[in-house]
Amino acid sequence: MGGYIKLICGALLVLASLVGGLNMVMGGAKEAAQRIVDNAVDTTGVIEHRTKHTVTVRRGKIGGRGSYYTMTYSFVTADGKKYGSEINISEEDAYAVRDGQKIAVRYNKAQPTINAAIGFKDYFSQEDVENLPIGTMLFTTFLMVLGGLYLCWSGWRSVGPSLGQFSVGTGGSNHAVPQNRLDTLNRTGGAATFGRR
Q: What is the CATH number of the domain that holds 98?
A: 2.40.50.660
Q: Is the pLDDT of residue 101 over 90?
A: yes
Q: What percent of the chain has pLDDT over 70?
A: 80
Give the whole-angstrom CA distance, residue 53 versus residue 58. Answer: 17
Any domain includes 59: yes
Residue 193, pLDDT score = 47
Any domain includes 47: yes
In the chain, the amino acid numbered 106 is R
Q: How many domains, the chain?
A: 1
Radius of gyration of the chain from Cα atoms? 30
Residue 26, pLDDT score = 77
Q: Is the pLDDT of residue 172 over 80?
A: no
Residue 91, pLDDT score = 94
Any domain includes 156: no
Q: Is the pLDDT of residue 184 over 80?
A: no
Range of the domain at 53: 2-135
Q: Are 25 and 54 in contact (CB under 8 A)?
A: no
Write down the mean pLDDT value for the chain. 82
The percent of the chain in helix, strand and coil, each rounded to the nearest 5, is: 40, 30, 25
Any domain includes 158: no
pTM for this entry = 0.58
Specify the length of the chain in residues.
197
Q: Is the pLDDT of residue 19 over 70?
A: yes
Q: Which residues of 58-88 are buried (b: 16+ CB within 10 A; e: fewer)?
A: eeeeeeeeeeebebebebebeeeeebebeee
pLDDT tens for residues 139-159? 898 999 999 899 888 888 887
